[in-house]
Chain A
Amino acid sequence: MKKILLVPLALFSLSVAAEIAVVVHPSNAAALNPEAIAQIYLGRSKSFPDGKAALPLGLPEGSKTTEMFNQKVLNKSGSQIKAYWSKLVFTGKGTPPKEISSDAEMLELVSQNPSVIGYIDKASVTDKVKVLATF
């Protein structure tokens, strides 16, 4: 009996670890679809639907969470993202989102600044931030 119960629990914990949450300040009333989130993270849109400035922050380039965010939200691989930003950086037309070192630091920054939009492992979410979407 124990063995049968263990299997579904293991599956459940795997799927929780594989999710990411896009988070904003609790006062941010924005409702963004995945396409709109992508536009902000690709530097094509610089504000939330209400016109307020949007400042996207990212996690380290090589992290699993970033890899998943790139695939699920931006629909691009790490190389494609790098190539995309290289094109803009080398022509002075834009800079990539600043990199934050950890989920904890991301939570701190998002909870303190209404302009910031970030993403973290869904398991790291606390009530200091508002979840816009999960993937």
Chain B
Amino acid sequence: MNWLNPMQRSLPLLVCVLFVANAQATEFNWSGFMTLAAGKTISGSVEGKNEIGIDCPCMISDFSQSGVIDSSWDFAADSKVGLQGNLQISDQLSLTAQVVSRGARDWDLNLEWVYAGWQLGDNDLLQVGRKRLPLFYYSEQQDVSFTYPWVHLPPQTYGWEAVNYNGINWNHSFQAGDWSGLINTFAGSETRKDNDYMKIYNGIDSETDTKWRNIFGAELLMNRDWFEGRLMLMKSDTQSRLVSDNEDWSAPAEQMLFGASGLIDYQDWIVSAELFFSDRTESYGRDLAYTLTAGKRLDGWTWYLTHGLYQQKIYADNPLELTDEADQEKHRLSSLVVRFDVSSSAAVKVQLDHWQDNSGDWFKQTYGDANAISLSYDRVF
């Protein structure tokens, strides 16, 4: 069992103490989400157990949580359940905590988020604590599958070594004519021990710690009628160490991340695009990823077609000494999703994925091409 660390263990106690002490002045609400998903590869270019220890043909469905769909029906890769509690201590002050249990992490119970929120005015909200790092459009709701089209978020764009962070952020909402806007500025750091993302590269039984320090970033969201657009920019230092090899922390390497997305939801049509770019010259080079989606609603059913690309560029003489022939990663994923809304809070999805790999030798021989089918039942409560 992956028990909570000491800081995380004390926080639920704090929540209970606060609740008891201020019982009359407080209001407690809870909400939850779940996904029961099953997936299997139908075919692929790699056969048998790969270097990482996965039975291929195989397809990565969730980089951040090392969710991999393999050659037998598997409920682990995308299934999860989460509960969120919100304690309204006063008109301005609230406390939020979220626990999640995932199949991809052996159903360990994890206190993922704990943060205090302070409503400074009608339009300003300050949050302090541990919460989701808003790298992508669907970042903050990435575990609530009910709220997005796919069984698993497009893996070409979604999923990096850091998912949550400890820090502070300030949300400022505003109106500009017919547009509603939100600016969120955030700062903090994240140390991820035994990082699941790294297991995809270093092996199921490996142990890698990663650190993102001096995180500074901002996101801007604008919406009007049927359109929503988003821009995100952040920078941080990155470090890692392969614990299973007794390594020391690597020297901090700066990275700059940029994201842009647009979503059109007009009558029965949905069109969206998301672009992600990283400058990791101080590590290996840069990454580029995008996802394009078109969808159509028809009587409770929604059909989506998605295409995504991930392309890494390894520069010559890079500090990590990677080579493009061996290490460069490039792959595309085309997906068809059919979703049926069982009720206003539950949906069933079927997804077909076609992963085409054009990577250097390592990724090609470890994961390669794959076709997969996934099914899910998503619910919010």
Q: Which residues of A contact B (CB under 8 A)?
A: 35, 39, 44-47, 53, 61-62, 75, 77-83, 86-87, 89-93, 95
Q: Flag whether B334 is at the interface (Cβ < 8 A).
A: no
Contact (Cβ within 8 A) A82 B140: no
What are the interface flags for B180-208 relative to A under an 8 Å C-beta threshold, 1 for contact and 0 otherwise?
10100000000000000000000000000
Chain A residue nearest to B142 (CB atoms) is A90
Contact (Cβ within 8 A) A35 B178: yes
Which residues does chain B contribute within 8 Å of A87, judged by CB atoms? 140-141, 144, 147
Complex Cα gap A89–B225 (Å): 21
Q: Which residues of B contact A (CB under 8 A)?
A: 29, 31, 33, 84, 86, 94, 96, 98, 115, 117, 122-123, 125, 127, 131-132, 140-141, 144, 146-148, 171, 173, 175, 178, 180, 182, 223, 225-226, 265, 297, 341, 343-345, 347, 380
- A sample of 12 cross-chain residue pairs with beta-carbon separation below 8 angstroms, ordered by A number, consists of A45-B180, A46-B123, A61-B344, A77-B341, A78-B344, A82-B380, A90-B98, A90-B141, A92-B86, A92-B127, A93-B125, A95-B29
Chain B residue nearest to A35 (CB atoms) is B178
Contact (Cβ within 8 A) A92 B94: yes
**B interface, by DSSP: helix, strand, loop or mixed?**
strand
Which residues does chain B contribute within 8 Å of A80, judged by CB atoms? 265
Chain A residue nearest to B115 (CB atoms) is A92
Of the candidates A35, A81, A92, which one forms a contact with B117 in the assembled complex, judged by CB atoms under 8 Å apart?
Answer: A92
Which residues does chain B contribute within 8 Å of A92, judged by CB atoms? 86, 94, 96, 115, 117, 125, 127, 131
Complex Cα gap A62–B123 (Å): 30
Which residues does chain A contribute within 8 Å of B140, judged by CB atoms? 87, 90-91
Chain A residue nearest to B141 (CB atoms) is A87
Contact (Cβ within 8 A) A79 B141: no
Chain B residue nearest to A78 (CB atoms) is B344
Chain A residue nearest to B31 (CB atoms) is A89
- For residue A95, give the distance in angstroms from its CB to the closest CB of chain B: 8
Top 7 nearest A-B pairs by Cβ distance?
A78-B344, A91-B140, A44-B180, A83-B147, A79-B341, A87-B141, A46-B122
- For residue A86, give the distance in angstroms from its CB to the closest CB of chain B: 5
